[in-house]
Amino acid sequence: MPPRLGSTRLTSKASSSSSTLTAAARPSTVACTQRQFSQTSSQQVTRRRREFYQWLNGPGRQLRKPLPNSTNYLGAWDKYGNLVRAPPTWERKTPEQLEKEEAEKAKAKAKAKADAIEKAKKEGEEGKAKTPAEEEKPDDLEASVRRDEEKAKAQEEQDPNYLPQESEEDLQPFPLNRYFRSQPVLSEALREEIYQRVTRDGATVSLASVEFGVSNERVGAVVRLKQLEKEWIAQGKQLAQPYAKAVLQMLPQTPFIDQSLPENKNTRPIPHEPINDLIVHPATRQQLFVPVAESRKFTREDAGKAFANDLLPADARIPHPELVQAEREIAEGLPRAQREQRAVERFQKEQAAKAAAEAAKKAEEARSRNVVPQRRWDYVFTDVSVERAGKDGRGVGGVGWRYGFPHEDRKKGQVKIPTKVDA
Amino acid sequence: MRKKPRYHSLKKLKIRQDWSRWTLYSIAKLTRPDTRTKTYFQQKWAAKSDTRAYHGEVIREKKWKRQFKRNIPAVVPMDHRYLARNDGSEQAAGRGAGADVEETKYAPQRTPYMQMTYYPIERRLDTAIFRALFSSSVRQARQFCVHGLVTVNGKKMVYPGYMLNPGDMFQVNTESVMFATGAQKSRSSTGRKVDAEKRAARADSWTNTTPTDAEPSIAELAAKSTRSEPTPTELKEHLQTLMSNVEEVLAAEVKAKDKQKFRSFRQEVKKAIALWKTASPETISTLDSQFDFLKARVAASSSDSPADSSAPTSLISPEDQLKLKQAFDRLKEKAQYDAAWNKRDASKPYATPWRPKDFMPAFAFIPRYLEVNQNICAAVYLRHPVARPGLAEVPTPFPFETSQLAFNWYLRRR
């Protein structure tokens, strides 16, 4: 049985406020408004469905397609389907329209540039007699550049279709959860730069991390993924280009600011994420009352000891303790050359310690492993301890068949999912 | 037997882990929990029911109960300047240390621990694939795993419940990702009929008239206009320059392995030159990128040994390189993307040219515990999700109150 619009309230709403498009798309509902005598038992269902489609064709319509040059989350729209951050003059354009406009803009820009060059040529011919002292000073040049930029910015703001940057609320995909927002991802350029810094320039991971404001783990991951991508290119495999392009346009991104370019001389690189995250230690979760004499200097180190004996202070537990050390030396007032020298010494010491530890590990492995080479296969003997099987003989470190204990891997409820995959 | 409830029901709006319009509608209609008319138990039950419909809906309740942890990981961002200039004693200093005036203390933002209730589920492989935007729902991600389209650290992983370890790299078949996230291929019965008629008409016209008489269609004209930039002769020239570059490189001293690669590459180029009439921009661009990659490798390996440092400089002169680059940047921007990567192709299981699924932008976010490379559809699970002041990394659509109630539900008897 076709659905029916019951109350007069809804009839008036459907006829007046709902868009003509909705009515046109589903003419049956309009036709049903007259059928007051319907015996349909579950009008609730039709009402819900109607409301669903009303929302989908009303406020929800804006979320169907990506917003050009912007993210498009539910949090950026109010419940009537208006973009909160947009000025009242703003209207949504299709990608084709935007492309056309941009092409026109580029044309106009090129024309203006050509005009400017011609003008400059003319002026140059006229002003050849001028002495070099009369020419524009670099400061003036910079000021003029800045003025031009400001002008362009003002023009952009006057543009009725100018869309300001997203605020934090606009980046909330879930409007009710204000503790989660879509955070920027690394842009393609920044990824490439990180990869180049590490592989070509031989920067250590922690150095690249500090330089780009990207956490240590992420630097490693970026290099690994980029390496794989390059291998794919070398093999001539097809990349998921259209997907990558579309997804990156939908996400907020951390841009790469190339400081070697003259226009970026005074801009700082944008840090991607906090790099010195201190993990909350379980021992510090409790509230602790420690009576301390006011005359005593109670430092972070003492506080750590109060919580747990082996708890180190925050300076030692953060991922970049070398930054703290460097900052301390600045506070001491050491000259730059000396600070640099000390940093190099520290770095070398650290590297040497790492190398020594690795060598010791290798030596230990070689000592405990005894390899007997054969014609085709090698016999490898490894030292094991019987105690590793544990008290009940079922420890994971135990080796070999243990008499009296059947394997349980065929038993019901035994989980076979691997817990780790070696890289 | 009781009828299984609908997955997407308008009667009971449940938010699911997918990019559907029902989910979007449910998120838009979500309200804060009703605390006035419901008892505490009812509130907790409702919260548990709603959140479990979203988080790990495929996991049985008993299993999830075992996975639940009451200790939630958190981090605090530290300022290294502050750590260097203060040793912490200033926070304990009172009147005895000379502090006379109560200073306004810096109040950090609250850490939303409760929003992290379901953090163990984010470790699952299927959920991570969904969070990395490689599938349009967790169920689909699960299917990808089971069908063997997912690798973890280069090895096939068929268990959707595999718990990722920090540093694990997972990779999904790119074609499957494009299928999962792309717009659906749709053709109505009328559309199919019209197409069949057109095809028949075309066949008739070909048999009746000579091809020279036939007027070029609009599509053909458009194709011509886009292809006008690289003419076949230009392409051939470019291939030949590439070829000569390769020969130069081979003449210079390089390692045997690299040489092998170059030789195979040269053969490919030769083949391409032979087929230059049918050469389209896409084959060239892949060759070009291949060559770039190989050249970079050679330059890197030769710079290690200072003896033959002249080799990389002799490869191509910088001017030529610049020219090559400029010529091909244009090609890459337009022709490669539109013609090669995203062309119309009826054999694909998704609508071509590829465009994102409807409502995808509303769900497109990548949490910080993943690092994703979209080009190869691979991602690295960096660490477990954490809470930090003002921010929780577990994506959950529910308000703080609901999550807290759900946490409390699982807290009992523990």
Tens digits of per-residue pLDDT, B331-374? 556 555 565 677 777 788 898 889 999 999 999 999 999 999 99
Q: Are A168 and A182 within 8 A, CB to CB?
A: no
* pLDDT surpasses 70 at B324: no
Within 8 A by CB and 6+ apart from B398, the residues are: A174, A176, A177, B15, B30, B47, B50, B51, B54, B406
Mean pLDDT of B372-393: 96
pLDDT at A98: 78
**Residue ending a domain, choose from A336, A367, A398:** A367
* pLDDT surpasses 70 at B243: no
* pLDDT surpasses 80 at B327: no
* pLDDT surpasses 50 at A156: yes
Mean pLDDT of B45-54: 96
pLDDT at A366: 85
Mean pLDDT of B140-146: 97
Q: Is residue A376 part of a domain?
A: no
pLDDT higher at A170 or B310: A170
Positive or negative, the Cα torsion across A209, A210, A211, A212? positive
pLDDT tens-digit series, residues B14-38: 999 999 999 999 999 999 999 999 9
Q: Is residue A75 part of a domain?
A: no
pLDDT band (50, 70, 90) for residue B399: very high
pLDDT at B217: 44
pLDDT band (50, 70, 90) for residue A173: very high
Residue showing tokens 């201190």: A278
pLDDT at A4: 46
Report the alpha-carbon distance of residue B134 to residue B138 in Å, rounded. Answer: 10
CA atoms lying within 13 Å on the CB side of residue A155: 7
* pLDDT surpasses 90 at B50: yes
Nearest CA distance, A405 vs chain B (angstrom): 27
Pairing of β B378-381 and β B155-156: unpaired
Q: Is residue A350 part of a domain?
A: yes
pLDDT at A316: 92
Report the alpha-carbon distance of residue A229 to residue A231 in Å, rounded. Answer: 5
Q: Are A328 and B84 within 8 A, CB to CB?
A: yes
Buried-state track B270-307, b at ≥16 Cβ within 10 A, e below 16? eebeeebeebbbbbbbbbbbbbbbbbbbbeeebeeeee
pLDDT tens-digit series, residues B103-131: 677 788 899 999 999 999 999 999 999 99
Question: Which chain A residue is nearest to residue B332, measuring alpha carbons?
Answer: A241
Domain count, chain A: 2
Mean pLDDT of B208-219: 46
Q: Same structural domain for residues A298 and A229?
A: no
What residues does CATH 3.10.290.10 cover in chain B? 21-29+38-74+110-182+367-412
Chain A interface, best mutation among B22, B75, B78, by max A CB count within 10 A? B78
Least confidently predicted of A245-259, A332-346, B102-116:
B102-116
- For B375, the 3-state DSSP assignment is coil
Mean pLDDT of B81-97: 84
Domain B21-29+38-74+110-182+367-412 falls under CATH 3.10.290.10: yes
Provide the domain limits for residue A324.
282-367
A372 touches B: beta carbon within 8 Å: no
Distances in Å between the Cα of A192 and the Cα atoms of A196, A211, A269 are: 6, 14, 15
pLDDT, averaged across chain A: 82
* pLDDT surpasses 60 at A375: yes
pLDDT higher at A114 or A303: A303
pLDDT at B331: 52
Q: What single string gives the DSSP state of each residue in B166-226?
A: TTEEEEE-HHHHHHHHBPBP---HHHHHHHHHHHHHHHHHHHHS-TTTSPPPHHHHHHHHH
B167 touches A: beta carbon within 8 Å: yes
% of chain A at pLDDT higher than 70: 81
Mean pLDDT of A389-395: 80
Please name the residues between 310 and 369 in chain B that touch chain A, using a CB distance below 8 Å.
337, 341-342, 353-356, 358-368
Contact call for A313 and B88, based on CB within 8 A: yes
Q: Same structural domain for residues A360 and A288?
A: yes
pLDDT at B374: 96
pLDDT at A411: 87
* pLDDT surpasses 90 at B65: yes
pLDDT at B224: 43
pLDDT at B44: 95
* pLDDT surpasses 70 at A18: no
**Residue ending a domain, choose from A351, A367, A383:** A367
Mean pLDDT of A200-227: 95
pLDDT higher at A106 or B280: A106
Report the alpha-carbon distance of residue A322 to residue A320 in Å, rounded. Answer: 5
* pLDDT surpasses 80 at A248: yes
pLDDT at B250: 57
Q: Are B403 and B114 within 8 A, CB to CB?
A: yes
pLDDT at B192: 78
Q: What single string gives the DSSP state of each residue in A191-227?
A: HHHHHHHHHTS---HHHHHHHHT--HHHHHHHHHHHH
Please name the residues between 27 and 66 in chain A that touch chain B, using a CB distance below 8 Å.
44-45, 48-49, 52, 55-56, 59-60, 63-66
Q: Is residue A387 part of a domain?
A: no
Count of CB atoms situated within 10 Å of the CB of B401: 15
Contact call for B382 and A185, based on CB within 8 A: no
CB-CB neighbors (< 8 A) of B341 in chain A? 238-239, 241-242
pLDDT band (50, 70, 90) for residue B269: low
Chain A interface, best mutation among B151, B284, B375, B393, by max A CB count within 10 A? B375
pLDDT band (50, 70, 90) for residue B385: very high
pLDDT at B272: 64
* pLDDT surpasses 50 at A17: no
CB-CB neighbors (< 8 A) of B380 in chain A? 221, 224-225
pLDDT at A135: 40
Phi then psi for B371, rounded to 5 degrees? -120, 120
Q: Is residue A325 part of a domain?
A: yes
Count of CB atoms situated within 10 Å of the CB of A402: 14
